[in-house]
Amino acid sequence: MAAKTDLRRFTGFLPMTFVCLFLLYAPLIIVMVYSFNDSKSITNWGGLSLRWYEEVFWGVESAKFKAAALNSLSIAVVAAISATTIATMAATAMLRAGRFRGKSISFALINLPLMVPEIVTAVATLVFFSAIGFTTGYLTILLAHIVFCIPFAYLPIAARMQGIEDVYEQAAMDLYATRFETFRLILLPLMMPGIISGFLLAFIISLDDFIITNFVKGAGIETLPTAIFGSVKQGIKPNIMAISTLLLMVSVGFVTLSWLVGRMGQNKK
């Protein structure tokens, strides 16, 4: 199509898109590049090296970061599994159970963790645990993570379920399947791409969280983001850039996976 007759085209929109992508990616790429910098000074380029990665895995602070990474990982796995299960049940209730008491308020409730500013959630959770005399630590982090992971798991699951016509379930019931069989044999397999996406997003959200964790973690326990934050407070050191790069790769890897799963699901349909 000739540019003159293309009504989609606005002068300057394409450059602006590139500006947008550049702004989004430049800082990340620079950190990735400088994580391979051999120089001790973080700004002067001293040649390629993996020394900061060695430092991360075997250096002075490695024990601290390894423990933090392990906490982050185990919390993310448990929180994502719990949130995905809860969200799947909730989506089934919202989209497949007709009318029931409290349905109208349920949607707002599920999305509440998205609407309340993170810092307010953090304060409220801390204050609540303190009021009921709960010692802050691993368990409080986990519970808080489950709560704010629910809407992130819910969105892709509900979107997927909305795309599945209920005629498949009717066909299954017509062919003598009980409601449980219908769920297990029809709805669950058809929803699987949504459930996997929901799980992966919840996992990343948990892995990435800083603010809420920072409030409810108590003393003596760190997740990767809080450990990094503590370290950055004394200035950005090259090993932080190496850790950041690793974490960045994990996030990008998971989101790409989630995206591919979602696309697979679409192609199947």
Partner 1 sequence: MAGGVVEKSTSNTSTYAGLGVFMMLPAWAIIGFFLVLPVATMLIYSFLTKEFRGGVIWEFSLAAYDQFFFDRGLFGDDPARIEWTYILIFWRSIWQAGMATFFCLLVGFPTAWFIATRTGANKSVWLFLITIPYWVNLLIRTISMKFLIRDTGPLNEWLMASGLISDPIHIINTNFAVQLGLFYSYLPFMVLPIYASVERYNLAFSEAAADLYATQWTTLRLVILPAVKPGIIAGCILVFVPSMGAFLAPDLLGGAKNFMIGSLIEEQFKGNAGNWPFGAAVSMILLSMVLIVLTFYARQQGKEGAH
Partner 2 sequence: MTDIAVDIIDLTKCYGDFVALKNVSLGIQDNEFFTLLGPSGCGKTTLLRTIAGFEDVSQGAIRLYGEDIAGLPPNKRPVNTVFQQYALFPHMNVTQNVMFGLLRLGQGDATARKRVTEVLELVQLTRFADRLPSQLSGGQQQRVALARALAPNPKVLLLDEPLSALDLKLRQAVRLELKQIQQDTGITFIFVTHDQEEALTMSDRIAVINDGQVQQVGTPREIYEAPQNKFVANFIGETNLIGVTVVDVSGGNATCTLPGGAQFTCPAAMGATAGPGHLSIRPERVAITAPETGVLQGVVARQVYLGTDMHIDITPTGGETITVRLQNSETTHIPGNGELVGLNFEAGSARLLVD
Decide whether 169 or 209 has the Cβ nearer to partner 2: 169
**Residue 80 near residue 202, CB atoms below 8 Å:** yes
Tokens of 46: 């001293």
Instruction: Find which of partner 2, partner 1, none residue 150 binds, CB within 5 to 8 Å per kind.
Output: partner 1
Decide whether 60 or 97 has the Cβ nearer to partner 1: 97
Which value, to the nearest 10 degrees, does the dihedral of the CA atoms of residues 239, 241, 245, 250 take?
70
Contact range with partner 1 by CB under 8 A, out of 19-27, 60-68, 155-163, 191-199: 19-27
Query: Which residue of 28, 63, 171, 188 would you call a contact of partner 1, by CB under 8 A?
Result: 28
> Is residue 96 exposed (0-12), middle (13-18) or buried (19+ Cβ within 10 Å)?
middle
Decide whether 173 or 192 has the Cβ nearer to partner 1: 173
Binding mask 149-168 for partner 1 (x = CB under 8 A): -x---------------x--
Task: Classify 39 in phi/psi space as left (phi over 0), alpha (psi -120 to 50) or beta.
Answer: beta
Q: What backbone torsions phi and psi does residue 48 show, to the nearest 5 degrees?
A: -75, 140
Judged by the rule CB under 8 A, the positions of this chain that interact with partner 2 are 165, 167-168, 170-178, 181, 185-186, 189-190, 268-269
Instruction: Find which of partner 2, partner 1, none residue 10 binds, CB within 5 to 8 Å per kind.
Output: partner 1
Tokens of 227: 């450990």
Work out how close the CB of 244 gets to partner 1 at its nearest, in angstroms, rounded to a whole number.
4
Contact range with partner 1 by CB under 8 A, out of 16-24, 48-56, 62-70, 189-197: 16-24
Cα separation, 157 vs 84, in Å, equals 9
Cα separation, 52 vs 62, in Å, equals 11
Decide whether 135 or 266 has the Cβ nearer to partner 2: 266
Cα separation, 108 vs 100, in Å, equals 15
Instruction: Find which of partner 2, partner 1, none residue 190 binds, CB within 5 to 8 Å per kind.
Output: partner 2
- Residue the block writes with tokens 């994990």: 250
Binding of residue 144 to partner 1 (CB under 8 A)? yes
Instruction: Find which of partner 1, partner 2, none residue 178 binds, CB within 5 to 8 Å per kind.
Output: partner 2
